[in-house]
């Protein structure tokens, strides 16, 4: 399955993140369930292990990590806005939204990508299951050719580690 993943979008993701680094832009990463864990893992790797004395630091924020904010929005407003509202509060034009969704159809991820478009963010997606609605809401999207959530999430982690290694 990994050999069937197109390389061009991965290279475009690397280029977009390099550009974000050079421009001191923020990169917001988010997803649900296993995708949330992958988002958090990626942010940890990038923040900790890409520090170079001759380059600006990457500025990554995992929107899935702030559980009090997530639960407050889910309880008081709607689960659909748990990523969109924090993104609207923190992002600026030129920043990057990196969404992970195995199905490509998670309403809260799609809503955040709509906000990202309205705010002028670069929109990157990792998905599977044919891409779902997410693929059409991205500037760059990697669609893992599988319908198995476990295989999709594993492939996403491999892709994220590949991106990380290219940016070290």
| Count of domains observed in the chain | 1
pLDDT of residue 79: 97
> Is a pLDDT exceeding 90 seen at residue 86?
yes
For 56-72, write each residue's pLDDT tens digit: 999 999 999 999 999 99
> Whole-number mean pLDDT of the chain?
97
> Average of pLDDT values for 33-56?
97
> Average of pLDDT values for 84-92?
98
Q: What is the CA radius of gyration of the chain?
A: 15
For 9-42, write each residue's pLDDT tens digit: 999 999 999 999 999 999 999 999 999 999 999 9
Give residue 37's domain range.
Answer: 2-167
CB 57 within 8 A of CB 64: no
> Is a pLDDT exceeding 90 seen at residue 1?
no
Residue 134: how many other CB atoms lie within 10 Å: 26
pLDDT of residue 137: 98
pTM of the predicted model as reported, rounded to 2 decimal places = 0.97
Residue 101: how many other CB atoms lie within 10 Å: 29
CATH code assigned at 159: 3.40.50.10490
């Amino acid at each position: 399955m990994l050999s069937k993943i197109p390389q061009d979008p991965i290279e475009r993701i690397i280029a977009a993140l390099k550009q974000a680094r050079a421009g001191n832009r923020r990169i917001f990463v988010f997803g649900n369930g296993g995708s949330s864990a992958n988002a958090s893992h990626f942010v940890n790797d990038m923040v900790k292990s890409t520090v170079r004395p001759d380059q600006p630091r990457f500025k990554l924020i995992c929107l899935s990590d702030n559980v009090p904010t997530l639960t407050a929005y889910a309880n008081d407003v709607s689960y659909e806005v748990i990523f969109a509202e924090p993104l609207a509060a923190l992002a600026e034009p030129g920043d990057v939204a990196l969404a992970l969704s195995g199905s490509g159809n998670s309403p809260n991820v799609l809503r955040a990508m709509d906000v990202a478009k309205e705010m002028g963010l670069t929109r990157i997606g990792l998905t599977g299951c044919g891409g779902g609605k997410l693929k059409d809401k991205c500037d760059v999207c990697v669609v893992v050719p599988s319908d198995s959530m476990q295989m999709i999430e594993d492939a996403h982690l491999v892709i994220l580690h590949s991106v990380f290694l290219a940016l070290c």
